[in-house]
């Protein structure tokens, strides 16, 4: 029987330019059978055009592992700081359709339509 190999620790280098990060408030995700493409952009109020600031290309397997890691970290974050609320989400029905609140739900609010 062979002895178990000790897992090696990966050293990750973070250089100065990358350490500053890039702010993005829009992600566009597309895929092919062999890769997932994540484009990150920044949308500014009143500006009709957004420029992709960063593109990440991953295998579907790595993307699924990232999804699991993000889900795990979001649970931990919400456990520490409370639920993350997404503006307008409570008014959306299935597949992004808006629903109107009935007067019994909130008599003082206006009806909301559109996205």
Taking residues 11-37, report their average pLDDT: 95
- Give residue-wise pLDDT tens across range 58-88: 999 999 999 999 999 999 999 999 999 988 8
Range of the domain at 57: 22-81
Per-residue pLDDT at 90: 72
The answer to whether residue 69 is domain-embedded is yes
Distance (Å, whole) CA 107 – CA 21? 44
Provide CB contacts within 8 A for 59, sequence distance 6+. 34, 35, 36
pLDDT tens for 29-58 read: 999 999 999 999 999 999 999 999 999 999
Q: Is residue 77 part of a domain?
A: yes
**pLDDT above 70: residue 109:** no
Report yes or no on 58 lying in a domain: yes
Q: Is residue 40 part of a domain?
A: yes
- pLDDT, position 89: 78
User: Number of structural domains, the chain?
Assistant: 1
Q: Specify if 65 maps to a domain.
A: yes
Q: Is residue 86 part of a domain?
A: no
């Amino acid at each position: 029987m062979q002895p178990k190999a000790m897992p090696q620790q990966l050293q990750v280098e973070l250089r100065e330019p990358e350490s500053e990060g890039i702010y993005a408030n829009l992600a566009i995700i597309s895929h092919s059978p062999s890769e997932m493409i994540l484009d990150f952009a920044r949308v500014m109020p009143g500006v009709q055009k957004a420029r992709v600031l960063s593109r990440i290309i991953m295998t579907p397997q790595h993307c699924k592992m990232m999804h699991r890691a993000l889900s795990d970290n979001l649970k931990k974050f919400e456990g520490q700081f409370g639920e993350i609320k997404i503006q307008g989400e409570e008014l959306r029905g299935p597949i992004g359709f808006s629903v109107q609140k009935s007067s019994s739900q909130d008599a003082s609010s206006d009806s909301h339509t559109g996205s």
